[in-house]
Structure 1
Amino acid sequence: MQPDIPNYALYGEEGTALFPDTMHCESIASRSRQLDWRIAPHRHHRLHQFFLLESGGGSIALDGQFHELIPPVAITIPHLTVHGFRFHKETQGWVITIPQQVLDEALKSTPDLIAEFSTPAVVSATPEIAASIKQIETEHRNSRKSRHGYLTHLVGILAIDFARRLEQHRFDIQKKSPEKTHLQTFLALLEERYMECHSAGGYAAAIGLTTQHLNRLCQQVTGRTTSKIIQERLMLEAKRSLVYTRMSVSEVAYSLGFTDPAHFSRLFRQNIGLSPKAFRNSIELVP
């Protein structure tokens, strides 16, 4: 088995045991201080994280993209997103770690929001986000009656607060529309099936649209074709594997559903401008 990107339940804690609580809440300082305020690139399986930085700051790497963190700032990180931090010393804030099934349960009444949390984002924190996280922190510390239900309810409120803040960072379409719903459905399906389905037609059929309609929609909202969006998602995962694992180029290709490694390499060069091997050699692993 090839070494993989570190995959933790909580950072630095190995193991495959079921998540032991409804969710986890801790201060940024509690874990980062003992690690000299640096968190190496890693990811979490089936765990979604929300961060709130109230003071201090630093930087975050999200799938190789670096963002400066100027408090008050909030971050949403979907499961399997490779991320690492460099915090300023004595940065103050909170980390909320939520099993995906709890987040899904919290969003049952607002399923249209699920797609909002399929990509990471860094935004300035609103008072509502800060209040929701602090309320979660308070409830997490106690063991009162109906704790699970109340925490799940608070996670739903936090997710709504985040979704409202994220709205201006997503699409140019400001009002709810069938087009936006279709696009969100496509992006959610892509996140689930990118390794097995590489064709625009496959996604269009799953949504109930023609390939031309989905392509037109993608271009109107994002400026990119359906095929380009699919390729970008594949290339993102390819870059993750090339930088953070020791898989050969052929193994990376097969893991992403390509039957011909040469075709994968050509597509990678077309999209990234380098061969997979050259890209691997050009990247530094730490911010």
Structure 2
Amino acid sequence: MKSAIPSYDLYGDRQQSGWTNSFQFEWIPVRSSPYNYDIRPHKHDAFIQILYLTQGEGDVLINDARYKVSSPALILIPSQNVHGFQFSSNIDGPVVTAAQKSLESMAAVVMPELVSVLRKPAVLHLDESSRHAEALMPLFLGIEREWRVHAVGQVAAGMSLLMALLVQVARLSNVLEPAPMAHNSRKAQQIEKFRALVDAHFRERRPIEDYASEMGLTAGHLTRLCREVLNVSSQDVVNARILHEAQRELVYSTDGIKQIANLVGFVDEAYFTRFFRKHMGVTPSDFRVRALQSMKTKLA
């Protein structure tokens, strides 16, 4: 069963892009003005976006949170996060879209603590006088230059500039912390492989033994690995992915509980409801009502 939340490489584009291993640059009005500056909730399965609002204002939706933003502001949206925008007609600024996995692979080598920055949505209101804020536009313009001019090393140069941009994002959000030892180890790579397998197969309700077998591990080894690196069990990782998807569908789709249960791999609606209530403390129906009411309150 397919998710009711639209997924695009770039908003409104149904065809797959030709730059899935690198990056893309454009100015915010180019894509938002044809939609009257109203970008409906959607997600990017494999791409991260970084927007720099240099003029105008708007409402930003990321998952179940809404933000009022005015320029200058920086918005970072990792892949798989539902988001939407309602911009003022005078909105302006650059937006870069890039392959999430490619950036994470680069970050893991050159600056592992950036990986956590890449995975966490952020809305940053900027002080134009900040030395970090002053560094943003030259980096965006450098990325645009590499995007527009097809030359030797274009992808390498563009992605390197993106890494520099993400360092500025981290400095602005004040989230840089020393990377745990595990992030530099084979164990961290195994965890990333497990998470990728869960992303691909969580709807199939696979037992942990299947994931472990595909990784060349025993189920016990995989669970010990998750507890050591993540401080949770391997089943907790799978359950968290199921719950994350279920919550998004409850908030952003109009599908019934049975349809959402089927979408995340449950044949029986009652079993899904018990599973959801056990982990979330409320039924799916109650969660939907509360989440939608909370969003309305935040927007008011």
Normalised to the residue count of structure 1, the TM-score between the two structures is: 0.72
Match in the other structure for 1:97: 97
Number of the residue aligned with 2:129:
none
Instruction: For residues 215-266 of structure 1, give each alpha carbon's deviation from its aligned partner in whole angstroms, at most 9, with x where no partner exists.
Output: 2332333332222221111011111222222222122122222232222111
- The question of whether the paired residues in 2 share the 8 Å contact of 1:195 and 1:234 is answered with yes
Task: Give the counterpart letter for 1:133 in structure 2.
Answer: F
Residues 20/225 of structure 1: CA separation in 2 closer, same or farther (3 Å cut):
closer
**Aligned with 1:263 (options 261, 266, 271):** 271
Change (3 A) 1:247 1:39: same
Match of 2:17 in 1: 19
Distance 1:185 1:159, change over 3 A: farther
Identify the residue that residue 76 of structure 2 maps to in structure 1. 75
Offset at residue 9 of structure 1 (A): 4.8
1:221 paired residue number: 229
Give the C-alpha shift of residue 272 in structure 1: 1.7
Task: Work out whether residues 261 and 267 of structure 2, in 8 Å CA contact, stay in contact via their aligned partners in 1.
Answer: yes
**What residue ranges of structure 1 are gaps of 5+ in the alignment?**
none
Which of 159, 174, 181 lines up with 1:156 in the alignment? 159
Residues 222 and 27 of structure 1: CA distance in aligned 2, closer, same or farther (over 3 Å): same
- For the residue of structure 2 that corresponds to 1:204, the secondary structure is helix
Identity, % of aligned pairs?
25
Query: Which letter maps to 1:154?
Result: A
Whether 1:85 aligns to 2:85 is yes
The alignment's C-alpha RMSD in Å is 4.2
8 Å CA contact 2:139, 2:165 repeated in 1 = no
User: Contact 2:146–2:157 (CA<8 Å) still a contact in 1?
Assistant: no
Equivalent pair of 1:195/1:256 in contact (CA under 8 Å): yes
Gaps of 5+ in 2: 127-131
Deviation at residue 267 of structure 1 after TM alignment: 0.7
CA distance in 2, matches of 1:156, 1:138: 12
Alignment size in residue pairs: 277
The 1:104/1:216 distance shift into structure 2, 3 A limit, reads closer
Q: Is the contact made by 1:136 and 1:155 (CA closer than 8 Å) also made in structure 2?
A: yes
In structure 2, what is the equivalent of residue 133 of structure 1? Answer: 140
Match of 1:205 among 213, 221, 242: 213
Partner amino acid for 1:157? S
Tell me, yes or no, if structure 1 residue 122 matches structure 2 residue 122.
yes
Q: What is the SS of the residue equivalent to 1:188?
A: helix
The structural deviation recorded for 1:111 is: 8.4
| Partner SS for 1:50 | strand
Question: What is the CA-CA distance between 1:82 and the residue it aligns to?
Answer: 0.9
Is the alpha carbon distance of 1:2 and 1:203 closer, same or farther for their aligned partners in structure 2, counting shifts above 3 Å?
Answer: closer
- Shift of the 178–19 alpha-carbon distance from structure 1 to 2, 3 Å rule, reads closer
| 1:7-46 superposed matches below 5 A | 7-11=7-11, 13=12, 16-19=14-17, 23-32=23-32, 39-46=39-46
Q: CA deviation at 1:17?
A: 2.9
Between the aligned partners of 1:186 and 1:3, the Cα distance in structure 2 is 22
- Could you tell me how far 1:206 is from its partner in structure 2? 2.5
Provide closer, same or farther for how the CA distance between residues 179 and 59 of structure 1 changes in structure 2, counting only shifts above 3 A: farther
If the length of structure 2 is used for normalisation, what is the TM-score?
0.69
SS of equivalent to 1:138: helix
SS at match of 1:246: coil
